[in-house]
């Protein structure tokens, strides 16, 4: 497979070539992939880099429930478009039961206890959204502390077990208290129109639909990329991929059949198109293999070698945000909120186009986000080592 062509195609399908300007977040996440959040700025950066969309527009779509962060593949939460809620929720259900099964096995929790807790949560939310602290008085003895053994296993009380099950069942939704996706302080509410009430696919059906989605978003991709992203076992992933009719374009790289001719005819642009995206952007996250974005000519660049030592990036994903050009990783960046500036380091010569894109992104982050966290625990203080590395200090 021609990796330069593949990178440029990934960038094109992801809309990082300007082809998706003005699109809604709902359309973007449906056609370029669900957006990982973990309390960071990734969804905002994804929309801005592709469509130029601002924070207010994304929040308006969240308010209308056109997009929402819900449990989905591998039990992880992603920002999904409305039409994909059923697929994501069904994929999440097995993972939601894992901590419950652990609590049953090791902490003396019973199914009757979890069921009563779930009923209590639903009753408590009938009068409106509540955060966990607000729920506890209404739930009373239905919530039980799990002691030192529970703390050791990451389960302080039973409340999280009920909340996890009800979210995956599509009966309650989680929303940030301050309305921001880059937050991890949540409250919970009943779904006005439960996603699974009218469309409740089996796990096998959801897996097949997700395989169809994935290879539209991520191809050319390998079977192992789909297995990682979906969280399915090898046999289940193989069964899910089979109905899609994927076409091998060489060495196990698979393309969606509806895209085969377009991919074959695709010619990478010779015009630079640098973009600053989040550390969890789908240009990499769907396959979780940064090596695929690194050009052979850059592999021994001192800056990149130092970056890969661990402070800034690993072999799979990056701690700092990414700078890409037609799918090629050309640098890394972070935001310094104290100075209100993007701090960037590249291993290719800086150009006017790249300087303009850095300035555009810097203005967006400073004016609309205030910061660009990679994940919930990322802070200006914890980021100092990365900022120093990007500054070459």
Across 141-170, average pLDDT: 94
Alpha helices by DSSP H, listed for the chain, are: 3-13, 25-32, 42-51, 55-63, 85-106, 111-124, 132-139, 147-152, 159-168, 203-217, 223-230, 234-241, 260-265, 282-285, 302-307, 352-364, 384-390
- pLDDT at position 27 is 98
The kind and range of the H/E element at 80 are: strand 77-81
* Residue 39: per-residue pLDDT: 92
Is residue 309 scored above 80 in pLDDT?
A: no
- Give the rounded distance of the alpha carbon of 382 from its chain centre: 22
- Calculate what percentage of the chain has a pLDDT beyond 90: 89
23-80 pLDDT per residue, tens = 999 999 999 999 999 999 999 999 999 999 999 999 999 999 999 999 999 999 999 9
* Model pLDDT for residues 69-113, shown as the tens digit of each residue: 999 999 999 999 999 999 999 999 999 999 999 999 999 999 999
Is the pLDDT at 314 greater than 70? The verdict is no
Least confident of 173-182, 297-306, 310-319: 310-319
Query: What are 319-362's pLDDT values in tens digits?
Result: 899 999 999 999 999 999 999 999 999 999 999 999 999 999 99
Task: Give the per-residue pLDDT at 393.
Answer: 66
Dist CA 226 CA 7 (whole Å): 17
Q: DSSP string of 297-356?
A: GGTT-HHHHHHTTTTSB-SS-BSSEEEEETTEEEEEEEEETTTTEEEEEESS---HHHHH
- Which pair of tokens denotes residue 294? 């690194």
Dihedral (Cα; 173, 66, 7, 52), 10-degree rounding = -120
Distance CA(378)–CA(183), nearest Å, equals 11
- Tens of pLDDT along 257-267? 999 999 999 99
């Amino acid at each position: 497979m021609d990796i330069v062509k593949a990178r440029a195609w990934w960038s094109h399908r992801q809309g990082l070539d300007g082809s998706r300007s003005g699109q809604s977040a709902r359309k973007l996440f449906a056609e370029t992939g669900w957006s990982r959040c973990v309390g960071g700025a990734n969804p905002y950066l994804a929309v801005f880099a592709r469509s130029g969309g601002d924070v207010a527009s994304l929040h308006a779509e969240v308010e209308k429930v056109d997009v929402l962060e819900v449990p989905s593949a591998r039990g992880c939460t992603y920002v999904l478009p409305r039409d994909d809620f059923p697929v994501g929720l069904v994929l999440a259900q097995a993972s939601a039961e894992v901590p419950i099964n652990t609590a049953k096995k090791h902490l003396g929790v019973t199914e009757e206890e979890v069921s009563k807790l779930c009923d209590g949560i639903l009753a408590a939310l009938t009068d409106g959204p509540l955060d966990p602290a607000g729920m506890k008085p209404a739930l009373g003895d239905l919530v039980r502390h799990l002691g030192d053994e529970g703390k050791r296993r990451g389960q302080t009380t039973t409340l999280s077990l009920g909340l996890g099950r009800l979210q995956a069942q599509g009966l309650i939704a989680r929303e940030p208290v301050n309305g921001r996706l880059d937050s991890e302080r949540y409250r919970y509410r009943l779904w006005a129109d439960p996603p699974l009430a009218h469309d409740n696919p089996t796990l096998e059906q959801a897996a097949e639909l997700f395989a169809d989605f994935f290879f539209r978003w991520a191809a050319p991709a390998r079977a192992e990329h789909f297995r990682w992203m979906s969280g399915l076992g090898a046999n289940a992933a193989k069964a899910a991929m089979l109905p899609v009719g994927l076409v091998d374009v060489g060495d196990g790289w698979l393309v969606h059949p509806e895209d085969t001719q377009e991919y074959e005819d695709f010619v990478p642009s010779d015009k630079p198109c640098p973009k600053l995206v989040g550390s969890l952007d789908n240009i990499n996250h769907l396959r979780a293999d940064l090596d695929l974005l690194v050009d052979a000519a850059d592999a021994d660049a001192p800056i990149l070698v130092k970056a890969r030592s661990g402070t800034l990036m690993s072999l799979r994903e990056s701690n700092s945000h990414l700078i890409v050009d037609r799918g090629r990783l050309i640098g890394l960046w972070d935001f310094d909120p104290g100075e209100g500036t993007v701090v960037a380091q590249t291993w290719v010569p800086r150009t006017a186009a790249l300087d303009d894109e850095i300035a555009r992104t810097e203005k967006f982050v400073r004016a609309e986000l205030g910061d660009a966290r990679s994940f919930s625990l990322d802070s200006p203080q914890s980021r100092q080592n990365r900022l120093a590395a990007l500054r070459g200090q």
